[in-house]
Amino acid sequence: MHEPITKFMKVGLVHFMAYPETGKGIGVEEAIRKTLVDDYFEAIEITWIEDPQVRARVKKMLDSSHMTVAFGGQPMLLTTGRNINDLDEARRMDAVDHLKKGIDQAYEMGAVGFGFLSGRYEEVTKEESYQALVKSTKELCAYAAAKGDMKIALEVFDYDIDKRSLIGPVHLAKRFAEEIRKDHANFGLMVDLSHIPMIHETIEENLEPIKDYIIHAHMGNTVIKDPSYEAYGDMHPRFGFPNSENDVDELVEYLRKLLEIGFLNPERRPIVSFEVKPWGDEDPDIVVANAKRTLNLAWARV
């Protein structure tokens, strides 16, 4: 592709994944500032910041950065064990209420989108879990719409390897998106290159059926060939990690498909973020630089 990538999308970074220490409240401001001064990025995905003083200072930095902000609610569920498709009604409501607090904070931070994921399920009660997820998602969409125009995106995860989320395989993702979108125009799906091999689908199989519902995308990698390998599962290692699934070639195919289905476009430049995480004692800055180099090489071939 001879035209600049900025014509078609806003390159972002899932910040709390690239700098995992910030998830423990360590070095949040310093790490976020590092991304905000890097003009490679037009978007940043942040998550819950508990300290109101830190949050206020981060908000001030975000406001002055000319960056698009998105909010990841996924850690609010994953780190607390909450499940918004829990069949226990009290626990389901607790998970939804917890995410509503995240939506409040996302609005406070000026976010344009809020991401979350479905929870675990049992095969024998899969339909009941699906209906619980529909109920929860509609509540979240209505809550967000009452406060502003922020988009709500369910991220598609693996269903049998690591997170074991209900959504899930593409046929179920499509059914779900169609059902929610009927009543809530602020809803869409978030896709992730790192999750596609984990769902046992090709890029074509994964993206084509849900092309009308994709509103956010991630770029990342995974190791799934053997459970004994380092970084096995949903660990989001750097591109080209040993025994991994994704590198330049796969990113080229992913971007080409996102362009073909009209997701990448000049009129409505979407956020497409790196979701990469240091493995072991790897330097986060080097892992982020790896991602930028990989995207540069891939875009030149799109």
CATH number for the region 5-299 comes to 3.20.20.150
Token pair of 239 as six digits: 């591109």
Look up tokens 């719409």; give the residue: 145
Parse the chain into domains and list their residue ranges. Answer: 5-299
Q: What is the pTM of this model?
A: 0.95
Q: For every one of its 302 residues, what pLDDT tens digit does the chain have, with 9 covering 90 and above?
A: 789 999 999 999 999 999 998 877 788 999 999 999 999 999 999 999 999 999 999 999 999 999 999 999 999 999 999 999 999 999 999 999 999 999 999 999 999 999 999 999 999 999 999 999 999 999 999 999 999 999 999 999 999 999 999 999 999 999 999 999 999 999 999 999 999 999 999 999 999 999 999 999 999 999 999 999 999 999 999 999 999 999 999 999 999 999 999 999 999 999 999 999 999 999 999 999 999 999 999 999 99
Can you tell me the distance from the alpha carbon of 112 to that of 260, in angstroms, rounded to the nearest whole number? 24
The pLDDT of residue 1: 75
CA-nearest of 193, 213, 181 to 257 is: 193
pLDDT of residue 144: 98
